[in-house]
């Protein structure tokens, strides 16, 4: 999986509708060139997971996804033996000697691959997405350290399995807890933040075909203004796109105070946020 | 070779500014430099950022140091000029040009303009000596261009359009001021030494900023940090509960289970642990001397509400009033703060904090707020203005609570100086120094 330059990354990502800025393009290029995992942090809905998907798409790679959650353990992340099938095999064996059976039931056939092992064993291009790493327990980070620094896994019965072809690894995190220094040290780091209004306008135009330039521009400016208010949950890019689609679906092509007031629920999901935005953005006529 | 020296100097400066750059990360950066086109400054910055900056809070210091070590330009060709009169035709022309650039939002032009402006007006004392950015900013006073900028894009003033336009221009003007600052530091660094300029200009990362010295911009940033912090603390607390000791032995279930193993209790059963959700009573000094601290801790109180069965907040100066009602669930935080200062009855006579009287009023009116399940949290600098500290009252209050803590935003070395009664209070209630986010987060962890 190679790119020739950051510009190359930028162009190819743009072909699948992901518009990167300089930092994103360079960091993705470096992660591929240096063969290092890429840790992407930032608020919800700025395109962290999308980035992994887009990279998979432009490199014709398969996306293997490990969704992290509290209580995620080794068998679910790495591999597991298929006990039921093993039991069947033992029962079917009849009076075969124990040694023969024993050798038989710890083979490929009874191995259940989980995302990490899958990603390591694939010989075709692979993008491994470890999503919401911060949701997993600290022990999982230890497991990831081993896998991500050497790209190998040891299964006692089968021996050490080393990656045939290094996957491109993307870890995402909302920073609900601080990841360990050790993990951060092994990764390249990219902090994704809300885009500039100019970039957001382009993203809206790329993702919502049929939207007029002026409307996209205004939408981006509005959302940027909303983000400067102190809200509980600032609108994400995904919500901006939803807003654009809503306006198109309603056949509205102007953003006046009434339209905004009526559709604000698409971007702001807390009542107090909506109230605040209405008060700040929509003039009530008397204050003029 | 020169590049390697730059790299080493840069990494050393990052470490000095408090960024934990490990040896491995420094090496990664070198590998990254080999992979990219070094003439592309944006790529260079991104490569360094990806390898050595692993926390958003460190980014500001990184950017400043990067601009010093890898300056966008060298030298200057402009002749320094004296500060012109306000109606100087040259200055009028320059301001017109700036206005035009701000209108178009052209970053390259803005950068070039900032460089030119610093060259012309940035020298102190009419062309000799140091470089100053405030001189440039005062001469051009970009913020006074706002009205003109708004007029040229808006058909009529007011309402939503103005809001949006104003935000756009404010952002560009700030960018201009940033660029001027950057260029001034670059010139200073060229004439003196990069290290010296770096040391004088780096600000501590957000989590280390002193509550009492926080600027308005810092406070806004801290406030934004509030929700993630509360969420992070909440996650930590739940994890701690889950890993906690198992509950009491469930004797009956254990015996019953042992029947199948011939009376040998092989597996023990335990009662589920009852989640301990303490109640919290917060007493917060809201006087001017600690207002930024109070502001911040009240926000924390507000955010922590979910973690505690019941939170009641009281603010005091020389009067005391319950302020819980302003922080109802779903309430708007900023508005709550304003309403609190306007409506709550916390000033009695002077507006200087009077701990003794505040504790007295509390005991008299709200004593029932404290039960054996309550954690009592007092926030303040313990500066009594030489009034009665009310130690006995506090002792009675703390005695009734399950725990009592005092958070003091002043540095430890200032305790007991002047009118501070820190030690006296510490004898009654354990006192913690709490000057920045890091210390606050550490404290909340002990609180659970």
pLDDT along chain B (448 residues), means of 10: 84 88 92 89 92 87 88 64 66 85 85 84 66 79 82 74 82 88 84 78 75 74 69 61 65 83 78 71 82 73 70 85 76 70 74 85 89 86 85 90 87 87 90 84 72
User: Is there a contact between A26 and B47 if contact means CB atoms under 8 Å apart?
Assistant: yes
Q: Above 50 in pLDDT, residue A288?
A: no
Q: Which of B49, B59, B164 comes nearest A222 by C-beta?
A: B164
Provide the 3-class DSSP secondary structure of residue A269: coil
Looking at residue B252, what is its pLDDT? 85
Q: Which residue of B has its CA nearest to A33?
A: B35
Mutate to test the interface with B, among A189, A277, A288 (most CBs of B within 10 A): A189
Q: Other C-beta atoms within 10 Å of B433: how many?
A: 17
Calpha distance B21→B11 (Å, rounded): 7
* Residue B133 per-residue DSSP state: H
Phi, then psi, of B2 in degrees rounded to 5: -60, -35
| Residues A178 and A261 grouped into a single domain | no
Token readout for A100 is 């023969």
Residues in chain A: 288
Calpha distance B407→B234 (Å, rounded): 20
Q: Other C-beta atoms within 10 Å of B286: how many?
A: 26
User: Is there a contact between A34 and B35 if contact means CB atoms under 8 Å apart?
Assistant: yes
Neighbouring residues of B240: CB distance < 8 A, sequence distance ≥ 6: B448
Q: Which of A22, A191, A256 comes nearest B56 by C-beta?
A: A191
Residues in chain B: 448
The answer to whether B44 and B90 are in contact (CB under 8 A) is: no
Q: How far is CA A219 from the centre of its chain?
A: 25
Q: Which residue in the block uniquely carries the two structure tokens 């604000």?
A: A264
User: Is there a contact between A281 and B32 if contact means CB atoms under 8 Å apart?
Assistant: no
Neighbouring residues of A106: CB distance < 8 A, sequence distance ≥ 6: A81, A157, A158
Neighbouring residues of B373: CB distance < 8 A, sequence distance ≥ 6: B278, B279, B309, B402
The answer to whether A154 and A160 are in contact (CB under 8 A) is: yes
How many CB contacts within 8 angstroms connect chain A with chain B?
114
Looking at residue A23, what is its pLDDT? 92
The ipTM of this complex is: 0.85
Q: Which of B20, B49, B220 comes nearest A23 by C-beta?
A: B49
Calpha distance B292→B298 (Å, rounded): 10
Calpha distance B267→B51 (Å, rounded): 50
Q: How far is CA A264 from the centre of its chain?
A: 27
In a domain, A213, yes or no: yes
Number of domain units in chain A: 2
In chain A, residues with a C-beta closer than 8 Å to the C-beta of B160 are: 256-257, 260, 281-283
pLDDT cut 90: percent of chain A above it = 35
Looking at residue A50, what is its pLDDT? 92
| Residues A15 and A56 grouped into a single domain | yes
Calpha distance A173→A249 (Å, rounded): 33
Q: Domain containing A28 — which CATH number?
A: 3.40.50.300
pLDDT band at A272 (very low <50, low <70, confident <90, very high): confident
**Bigger pLDDT: A263 vs A40:** A40
Q: Which residue of A has its CA nearest to B228?
A: A176
Q: Where are the alpha helices (DSSP H) in B105-205?
A: 107-121, 133-140, 146-153, 159-191, 194-201
Q: How far is CA B386 from CA A174, B124, B291, B338, in A?
A: 48, 46, 20, 29
The answer to whether B180 and B140 are in contact (CB under 8 A) is: no
Token readout for B69 is 């070590």
User: Is there a contact between A271 and B54 if contact means CB atoms under 8 Å apart?
Assistant: no
Phi, then psi, of B75 in degrees rounded to 5: 65, 180
pLDDT (average), residues A85-89 = 84
| Residues A166 and A32 grouped into a single domain | yes
**Bigger pLDDT: A78 vs A283:** A78
Of the listed ranges A169-183, A186-200, B330-344, the one predicted with least confidence: B330-344
In a domain, A117, yes or no: yes
| Residues A206 and A270 grouped into a single domain | yes
User: Is there a contact between A225 and B167 if contact means CB atoms under 8 Å apart?
Assistant: yes
In chain A, residues with a C-beta closer than 8 Å to the C-beta of B32 are: 30, 34, 188
Q: Which of A70, A184, A221 comes nearest B164 by C-beta?
A: A221
Looking at residue B276, what is its pLDDT? 63
| Residues A162 and A241 grouped into a single domain | no
**Bigger pLDDT: A74 vs A20:** A20
In chain A, residues with a C-beta closer than 8 Å to the C-beta of B231 are: 176
Token readout for A147 is 């896998």
| Residues A118 and A35 grouped into a single domain | yes
**Between β-strands A38-41 and A168-173, what pairing exists: parallel, antiparallel or unpaired?**
parallel
In chain A, residues with a C-beta closer than 8 Å to the C-beta of B42 are: 22-23, 26
In a domain, A97, yes or no: no
Q: How many CA atoms lie within 13 A of A39 on its CB side?
A: 30
Q: Which residue of B has its CA nearest to A226?
A: B164
Q: What is the 3-state secondary structure (H, E, C) of B270-314?
A: ECCCCCCCCEEEEEEECCHHHHHHHHHHHHHHHHHHHHCCEEEEE
In a domain, A82, yes or no: no
Mutate to test the interface with B, among A25, A186, A188 (most CBs of B within 10 A): A188
Calpha distance B445→B237 (Å, rounded): 7
Phi, then psi, of B367 in degrees rounded to 5: -55, -30
Calpha distance B387→B352 (Å, rounded): 10
Nearest CA to A36 out of B24, B41, B44 is that of B24
In chain B, residues with a C-beta closer than 8 Å to the C-beta of A40 are: none
Q: Rounded to 5, what percent of chain A is helix, strand, coil?
A: 50, 15, 35
Nearest CA to A23 out of B1, B36, B208 is that of B36
Token readout for B405 is 């803590």
Neighbouring residues of A232: CB distance < 8 A, sequence distance ≥ 6: A270, A272, A273, B227
In a domain, A131, yes or no: yes
Token readout for B438 is 């890091």
| Residues A185 and A262 grouped into a single domain | no
Looking at residue B442, what is its pLDDT? 80
| Residues A64 and A117 grouped into a single domain | yes
**Between β-strands A168-173 and A126-131, what pairing exists: parallel, antiparallel or unpaired?**
parallel
User: Is there a contact between A36 and B334 if contact means CB atoms under 8 Å apart?
Assistant: no
Output the pTM of the full model.
Answer: 0.75
In a domain, A88, yes or no: no
Calpha distance A137→A172 (Å, rounded): 15
Q: Which residue of B has its CA nearest to A275?
A: B332
Q: Other C-beta atoms within 10 Å of A213: how many?
A: 10
Q: Other C-beta atoms within 10 Å of B285: how many?
A: 25
Neighbouring residues of B41: CB distance < 8 A, sequence distance ≥ 6: B70, B72
Provide the 3-class DSSP secondary structure of residue B148: helix
Neighbouring residues of A88: CB distance < 8 A, sequence distance ≥ 6: none
Looking at residue A32, what is its pLDDT? 93
Q: Which of B32, B54, B235 comes nearest A30 by C-beta?
A: B32
Nearest CA to A38 out of A243, A255, A261, A191 is that of A191
| Residues A117 and A64 grouped into a single domain | yes
Q: Which residue of A has its CA nearest to B236?
A: A177
In chain A, residues with a C-beta closer than 8 Å to the C-beta of B51 are: 30, 188-189
| Residues A228 and A268 grouped into a single domain | yes
Domain region containing A263: 197-281
Looking at residue A214, what is its pLDDT? 86
The answer to whether B419 and B386 are in contact (CB under 8 A) is: yes
pLDDT (average), residues A119-139 = 89
Nearest CA to A177 out of B232, B58, B227 is that of B232
Largest separation between any pair of C-alpha atoms in chain B? 104
The answer to whether B405 and B378 are in contact (CB under 8 A) is: yes
Asked which of A128, A160, A191 is the last residue of a domain, the reply is: A191
Asked which of A157, A191, A225 is the last residue of a domain, the reply is: A191
Asked which of A131, A164, A191 is the last residue of a domain, the reply is: A191
| Residues A57 and A131 grouped into a single domain | yes
Looking at residue A286, what is its pLDDT? 37
Q: Above 90 in pLDDT, residue A37?
A: yes
Calpha distance A203→B424 (Å, rounded): 61
Residues forming beta bridges with residue A160, ordered by sequence position = A154
Looking at residue B10, what is its pLDDT? 92
In a domain, A215, yes or no: yes
Query: For residue A79, what is the enclosing H or E element?
Result: strand A79-81
Neighbouring residues of A87: CB distance < 8 A, sequence distance ≥ 6: none
At A200-216, the pLDDT tens digits run 999 999 888 888 888 88
pLDDT (average), residues A157-172 = 89
Q: Other C-beta atoms within 10 Å of B183: how many?
A: 26
Q: Which of B51, B158, B335 comes nearest A288 by C-beta?
A: B158
In a domain, A171, yes or no: yes
User: Is there a contact between A176 and B164 if contact means CB atoms under 8 Å apart?
Assistant: no
User: Is there a contact between B232 and A178 if contact means CB atoms under 8 Å apart?
Assistant: yes
Calpha distance A270→A272 (Å, rounded): 5
Mutate to test the interface with B, among A7, A20, A34 (most CBs of B within 10 A): A34
| Residues A187 and A241 grouped into a single domain | no
Helical pair B2-16 and B59-69, crossing angle rounded to 10 deg: 150
In chain A, residues with a C-beta closer than 8 Å to the C-beta of B158 are: 283, 288
Q: Which of B45, B163, B228 comes nearest A281 by C-beta?
A: B163
């Amino acid at each position: 999986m190679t790119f020739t330059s950051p510009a190359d990354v930028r162009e190819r990502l743009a072909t699948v509708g992901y518009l990167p800025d300089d930092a994103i393009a360079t960091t993705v290029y470096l992660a591929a060139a240096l063969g290092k995992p890429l840790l992407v942090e930032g608020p919800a809905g700025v395109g962290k997971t999308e980035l992994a998907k887009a990279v998979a798409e432009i490199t014709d790679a398969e996306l293997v996804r490990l969704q992290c959650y509290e209580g995620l353990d080794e068998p679910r992340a790495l591999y597991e033996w298929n006990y039921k099938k093993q039991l069947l095999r033992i029962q079917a064996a009849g009076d075969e000697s124990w040694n023969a059976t024993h050798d038989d039931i710890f083979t490929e056939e009874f191995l259940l691959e989980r995302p990490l092992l899958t990603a390591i064993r694939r010989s075709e291009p692979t993008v491994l997405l470890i999503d919401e790493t911060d949701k997993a327990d600290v022990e999982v980070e230890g497991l990831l350290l081993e896998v991500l620094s050497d790209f190998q896994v040891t299964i006692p019965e089968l021996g050490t399995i080393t990656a045939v072809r290094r996957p491109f690894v993307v870890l995402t995190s909302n920073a609900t807890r601080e990841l360990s220094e050790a993990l951060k040290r092994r990764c390249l780091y990219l902090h994704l933040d809300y885009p500039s209004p100019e970039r957001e306008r382009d993203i809206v135009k790329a993702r919502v075909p049929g939207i007029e330039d002026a409307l996209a521009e205004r939408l981006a400016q509005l959302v940027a203004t909303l983000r400067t208010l102190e809200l509980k949950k600032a609108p994400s890019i995904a919500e901006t796109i939803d807003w654009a689609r809503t306006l198109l679906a309603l056949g509205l092509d102007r953003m006046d105070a009434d339209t905004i007031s009526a559709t604000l629920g698409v971007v702001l999901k807390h009542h107090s946020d909506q109230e605040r935005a209405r008060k700040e953005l929509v003039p009530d006529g008397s204050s003029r | 070779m020169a590049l390697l020296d730059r790299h080493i100097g840069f990494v050393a400066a990052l470490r000095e500014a408090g960024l934990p750059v490990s040896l491995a990360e420094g090496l990664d950066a070198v590998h990254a430099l080999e992979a990219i086109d070094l003439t592309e400054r944006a790529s260079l910055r991104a490569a360094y950022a990806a390898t050595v900056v692993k926390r958003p809070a460190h980014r500001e210091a990184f950017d400043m140091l990067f601009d010093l070590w890898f300056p966008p330009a060298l030298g200057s060709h402009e002749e320094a000029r004296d500060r012109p009169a306000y109606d100087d035709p040259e200055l009028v022309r320059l301001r017109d040009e700036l206005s035009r650039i701000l209108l178009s939002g052209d970053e390259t032009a803005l950068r070039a303009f900032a460089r030119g402006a610093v060259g012309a007006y940035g020298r102190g004392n009419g062309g000799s000596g140091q470089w100053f950015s405030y001189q440039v900013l005062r001469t051009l006073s970009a913020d006074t261009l706002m009205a003109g900028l708004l007029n040229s894009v808006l058909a009529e003033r007011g309402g939503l359009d103005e809001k949006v336009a104003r935000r756009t221009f404010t952002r560009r003007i700030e960018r201009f001021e940033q660029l001027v600052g950057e260029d001034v530091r670059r010139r200073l660094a060229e004439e003196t030494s990069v290290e010296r300029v770096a040391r004088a200009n780096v600000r501590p990362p957000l989590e280390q900023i002193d509550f009492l010295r926080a600027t308005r911009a810092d406070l806004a940033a801290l406030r934004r940090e509030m929700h993630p912090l509360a969420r992070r603390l909440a996650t930590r607390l739940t994890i701690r509960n889950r890993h906690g000791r198992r509950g009491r032995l469930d004797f009956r279930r254990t015996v019953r289970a042992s029947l199948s193993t011939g009376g040998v209790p092989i597996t023990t059963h335990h009662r589920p642990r009852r989640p301990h959700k303490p109640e919290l009573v917060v007493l917060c000094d809201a006087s001017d001397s600690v207002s930024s601290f109070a502001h911040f801790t009240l926000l924390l109180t507000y955010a922590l509400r979910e973690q505690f069965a019941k939170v009641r907040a009281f603010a005091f100066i020389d009067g005391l009033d319950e302020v819980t009602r302003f922080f109802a669930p779903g309430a708007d935080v900023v508005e709550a703060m304003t309403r609190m200062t306007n409506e709550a009855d916390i000033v009695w006579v002077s507006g200087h904090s009077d701990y003794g009287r505040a504790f007295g009023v509390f005991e008299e009116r709200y004593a029932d707020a404290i039960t054996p399940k309550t954690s009592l949290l007092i926030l303040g600098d313990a500066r009594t203005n030489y009034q009665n500290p009310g130690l006995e009252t506090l002792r009675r209050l703390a005695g009734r609570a399950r725990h009592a803590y005092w958070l003091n935003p002043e540095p430890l070395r200032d305790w007991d100086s002047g009118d501070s009664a820190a030690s006296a209070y510490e004898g009654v209630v354990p006192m913690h120094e709490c000057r920045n986010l890091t210390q606050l987060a550490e404290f909340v962890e002990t609180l659970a």
